[in-house]
Amino acid sequence: MCLILFAYDVHPVYKLIVAANRDEAYARPTAAADFWSDAPNVLAGRDLEKMGTWMGVTTSGRFAALTNYRNPQETTEGKRSRGEIVSNFLKGNEHPKSYIENIAHGDSSYPGYNLLTGNLDELFYTSNVGRKVEKLKPGIYGVSNHLLDSDWPKVRIGKTELQRAVDEHRDKPELVDELFSILKNADPAPDDSLPNTGVGLELERVLSPLFIKTDGYGTRSSTVCLLGEEEGYYIERTFKGDKVHQREFTIPLKE
């Protein structure tokens, strides 16, 4: 997953609002969001190459999501799959803070990542690049392929639009439509606002929109997750060429 915009404890109905895009090679085999046969309480998409995931929720209100940290100089050979970090949290019952702190101790086992873990009461963030565990306060946040709230154009634009959506929409249908509209923004950023992550100016341009589309790589899916006190919604749109497939789940949350 390459962009996660989220509003934590600032909406009158939903404790957590997430709008996220997963960017990946089109050829990488992936299963659409569903409840897992080997973990029936877990709702998430699945990377069929490594069997992990980038984002998901459970029927008890556990939530986790992850993005890669962009570093073209990083050596990933021999390291573990980042997707297992999210799937292991969702399948377990360890407290979010304990889990994220334990993961941080072994973070050299994985390529660079940003990680969110939480439940209906608390939300935590860490990165094995920034090396800090942070309990998040109520607010509007964004993370792409750098650290939390880095001033990248897609993060800055996404957070501004998310704040507007949260302020203006209380009802679920209007809020969901607005969040997907935000995630569909494919406008590239101006050159003078692009980050320098070591991939060259041309690729920085290609990767700058919220929604990415190239010949072999781009936004494979957009997901909106709304978690309230008693009920949650998980809506995933997957893209293949010009075709869009949507899966929507209502989750009765129970401790």
| Domains present along the chain, CATH in parentheses | 3-252 (3.60.60.10)
Q: Render pLDDT for 28-51 as a digit per residue (tens, 0 to 9).
A: 999 999 999 999 999 999 999 999
Nearest-angstrom CA–CA distance, 23 and 67: 9
pLDDT of residue 253: 86
pLDDT of residue 41: 96
Q: Return phi, psi of residue 41, to 5°.
A: -90, -5
Q: Are 203 and 77 in contact (CB under 8 A)?
A: no
**The model's pTM:** 0.97
| Rg, C-alpha atoms of the chain | 17
Q: Return phi, psi of residue 239, to 5°.
A: -120, 130
Reading the chain (255 residues) residue by residue, the pLDDT tens digits are 699 999 999 999 999 999 999 999 999 999 999 999 999 999 999 999 999 999 999 999 999 999 999 999 998 888 999 999 999 999 999 999 999 998 876 667 899 999 999 998 999 999 999 888 999 999 999 999 999 999 999 999 999 999 999 999 989 999 999 999 999 999 999 999 999 999 999 999 999 999 999 999 999 999 999 999 889 999 999 998 889 999 999 999 875
Nearest-angstrom CA–CA distance, 183 and 5: 9
pLDDT of residue 107: 66
Nearest-angstrom CA–CA distance, 251 and 90: 15
pLDDT of residue 75: 85
Amino acid at position 46, single letter: R
- DSSP result, the chain: --EEEEEES-SSS-SEEEEEEEEEETTS-EEEEEEETTEEEEEEEEETTTS--SEEEETT--EEEEEEPP-TT---TTPPPTHHHHHHHHHS---HHHHHHHHHHTGGGS-SEEEEEE-SS-EEEEETTT---EEPPSEEEEESSSSTT---HHHHHHHHHHHHHHHH--SHHHHHHHHHHHHT--PPPPGGG----SS-HHHHHHH-SSS-B-SSEEEEEEEEEEE-SSEEEEEEEEEETTEEEEEEEEEE---
Nearest-angstrom CA–CA distance, 245 and 181: 15
